[in-house]
Structure 1
Amino acid sequence: MAKVLCVLYDDPVDGYPTGYARDGLPHLDGYPGGQTLPTPQAIDFTPGALLGSVSGELGLRRFLESRGHTLVVTSDKDGPESVFERELVDADVVISQPFWPAYLTPERIAKARNLKLAVTAGIGSDHVDLAAAIEAGVTVAEVTYCNSISVAEHVVMMILGLVRNYLPAHRIVNEGGWHIADAVARSYDLEGMHVGTVAAGRIGLAVLRRLKPFDVHLHYTDRHRLPTEVEQDLGLTFHPDAATMVPHCDVVTINAPLHPETEDLFNAHLISTMPRGAYLINTARAKIATQEAVVQALESGHLAGYAGDVWYPQPAPANHPWRTMPHHGMTPHISGSSLSAQTRYAAGTREILENFFDGSPIRDEYLIVDGGKLAGTGAHSYSTR
């Protein structure tokens, strides 16, 4: 029997919910492009429930214990005395979320002598050292596409929030004021702007599709060029890399995975090539943008705004400079953890575990590392050097 170690974020401050704002979720027939939603044999949770926090347990306890497995759930993940560190030693499976990542470093992978499977309940497995996983023969999987649209919606919200200066205007109301001039002094229309995405995979392409009705000029760069018919339908301008794209864009959104080719991509030099007054949105990974360069660009006025929900480390310390830099729209890492997305990634996590314990193949689109090499989606999206 296996030991499954699951790291989830804490319950709400006021306790685990006893009710929700809405009754149930809309029905989805599938993902754009035809990929099916997760197809576990069954689920032991109510769709729309809070599954990503400790008490939600991703709806896995009944399933795992009915098969004789042990489930350990914790939010205590950092430091040598953490529950995660202690329980990792003999864990067969580790489950973690990008929003509250349990970093599987080479040292931790070496320590986890029984580890066979690392699952990301969500998208983005960069909290696992993929090279070390390959060396150790650990399979790495994630629930691809489960929250891509959730993140794309968050990106569009943040673009509009920055460009229209929504957050300061909302703050004026909360503080009892009616200072219209203060609210509109940094407010513009998105219409007519040039908007570009770094990466046009599931999230980036969904962002482009959602922005087309705003009558903007759309740009993208990606290591895999989109089909001609998609470019024509959306009116896209392709650029071979970020360096050639960003000088043309009023708004840039980062939707690429973190790997050696993208780490610190948006450094001081690249940001300096963006037009003065441009906006930068990053819901991908914090380390794609150089922390100090973002702060300096906002303080100097070169960037008009920065928004995102990814930080390093996560959770971000109270004194993280992105909390207090000017003209930001940062949120905790929530873009891919809506209640709608949680239903899908909890179901997908169960599907992966069913496959693993039954000895049946895990979906190719879920695989990041398998058989001692990058596999499936991992081979398409990641590099290890």
Structure 2
Amino acid sequence: MATLFETDVNAEDIQLSGDELLHGLENKDVLVSTITDRLDADLIGRLPRTVRLIAQFGNGIDNIDIEAAWAAGLTVTNTPSVLTEDTADMALALIMALPRRLIENNRRLMIERHWPGWSPTSMLGTRLRGKALGIVGMGRIGTAVAQRARAFGLSIHYFSRSRRPPPIEEPLNARYWDSLDAMLEAVDIVSLHTPLTRETHRMLNAQRLARMRHGSFLVNVSRPELIDETALVGELESGRLGGAALDVFEHKAGIDPRLLALADADRVVLTGHMASATLEARIEMGETVIVNIRTFMDGHQPPHRVLPEGQMVGGRMVTP
């Protein structure tokens, strides 16, 4: 970007306050934001009039008030697609880690600094093959997860806003559920791959978590707000759920101590939002940001423009 444009960079790699963002945007045309930049309606309303484009460095855009940006005449873009393979890899790694107790075994060896030797009953987990995987959100990432999981012998079930076409379903032998509640009752592992919207906010609430099978597992590499974290902690503490692997979690005031205690007790695997953390993904994200900026500055529609849900553009209804 510095080669192509006059660019100011947050070289310290720390989160800036709203006022710091506003100060840095004086006489600028573009804000390249990340998921940690809270661009709410108030801040968008105070942006310098020179700013015309918010080019998000990332796929998720729930840090941006898209409706407020639209009303202010701002264009918003993101970087979809480039994170698909890496996020799917991470989801499958967590799906494997839970039933096979990989993190627990590693932790025990590192703490005890001793291996007593093989035992027929030591660190028994559960087999993946033959288990039912329920995918919530069968978009690009959900489909990539299903393809990987199928190779490990998991049966594929999914709940999504709409049913996927036969060319996607049939190779995976995937079963579509039009009821999330019914699917939760039928699967052994639930993996979340849906964007955060008004409809999906806390979609796994206390009532739905209670519908999950006894001993089942939950994996979330999407958004923490999809789950009622307090209710999840309760289900795990009671022993009803077999475990959870969370790459995202509520942390505005620090990680919930109860969640940390569950991780210490090997009931939860926690990773710090690293599903897309590969060098290749970060480079491709940056290149996509540049494409969006160049296209916009050349007077054309950026290829990855984000619009408010339900907005009609060119006779087409826009949905996430």
Contact 1:309/1:333 (8 A) holds in 2? yes
**Which SS does the other structure have where 2:262 is aligned?**
coil
Shift of 1:173: 2.1
Give the percent of matched residue pairs that are identical in Structure 1 and Structure 2: 25
Contact 2:191/2:219 (8 A) holds in 1? yes
User: Hey, what does 1:73 align to over in structure 2?
Assistant: 10
Is residue 113 from structure 1 mapped to residue 48 from structure 2 by the alignment?
Answer: yes
Which of 280, 285, 289 does residue 340 from structure 1 map onto?
Answer: 280
Contact 1:218/1:236 (8 A) holds in 2? yes
Change (3 A) 1:318 1:253: closer
Report the Cα distance in structure 2 between the residues aligned to 1:212 and 1:193, rounded to whole angstroms: 10
How many residues end up aligned between the 2 structures?
A: 311
TM-score scaled by length of structure 1: 0.74
| Counterpart amino acid of residue 288 in structure 2 | G
**Which SS does the other structure have where 2:88 is aligned?**
helix
TM-score scaled by length of structure 2: 0.89
Contact 1:78/1:85 (8 A) holds in 2? no
Alignment RMSD, CA only? 2.6
Contact 1:123/1:147 (8 A) holds in 2? yes
Change (3 A) 1:345 1:251: same
Contact 1:140/1:368 (8 A) holds in 2? yes
1:91-124 Cα shifts (integer Å, max 9, x gaps) = 43222233xx201111111111333212222211
**Which SS does the other structure have where 2:9 is aligned?**
strand
Change (3 A) 1:305 1:78: farther
User: Hey, what does 1:56 align to over in structure 2?
Assistant: none
1:261-317 Cα shifts (integer Å, max 9, x gaps) = 000101111000000111111111000001101111111112211112123356x72
Shift of 1:240: 0.7
Report the Cα distance in structure 2 between the residues aligned to 1:130 and 1:183, rounded to whole angstroms: 54
- Bigger drift between 122-131 and 156-165 goes to 122-131
Report the Cα distance in structure 2 between the residues aligned to 1:328 and 1:355, rounded to whole angstroms: 44
Report the Cα distance in structure 2 between the residues aligned to 1:380 and 1:161, rounded to whole angstroms: 37
Change (3 A) 1:116 1:338: same
Contact 1:239/1:245 (8 A) holds in 2? yes
Q: Which has the higher contact order (CA 8 A, sep 6+)?
A: 1
Change (3 A) 1:169 1:145: same
Contact 1:310/1:333 (8 A) holds in 2? yes
Change (3 A) 1:183 1:260: farther
| Counterpart amino acid of residue 102 in structure 1 | D
Is residue 178 from structure 1 mapped to residue 118 from structure 2 by the alignment?
Answer: no
Which of 28, 33, 37 does residue 102 from structure 1 map onto?
Answer: 37
Report the Cα distance in structure 1 between the residues aligned to 2:254 and 2:121, rounded to whole angstroms: 30
In the TM superposition, what are the counterparts of 1:1-385 in structure 2 within 5 Å?
60-64=1-5, 69-73=6-10, 75-77=13-15, 79=17, 83-88=20-25, 91-98=28-35, 101-114=36-49, 115-175=51-111, 176-178=113-115, 184-185=122-123, 187-313=125-251, 317=254, 321-326=258-263, 327-363=267-303, 366-369=304-307, 373=311, 381-382=319-320
- Bigger drift between 69-78 and 186-195 goes to 69-78
Contact 2:311/2:318 (8 A) holds in 1? no
Change (3 A) 1:132 1:80: closer
User: Hey, what does 1:31 align to over in structure 2?
Assistant: none
1:340-378 Cα shifts (integer Å, max 9, x gaps) = 111211111111111122212211xx12128x94769x9
Change (3 A) 1:169 1:110: same
Change (3 A) 1:89 1:307: farther
Change (3 A) 1:131 1:317: same
Q: Give 5+ residue unaligned stretches, structure 1.
A: 1-59
| Counterpart amino acid of residue 187 in structure 2 | C
Shift of 1:255: 0.1
Q: Give 5+ residue unaligned stretches, structure 2.
A: none
Contact 2:250/2:256 (8 A) holds in 1? no
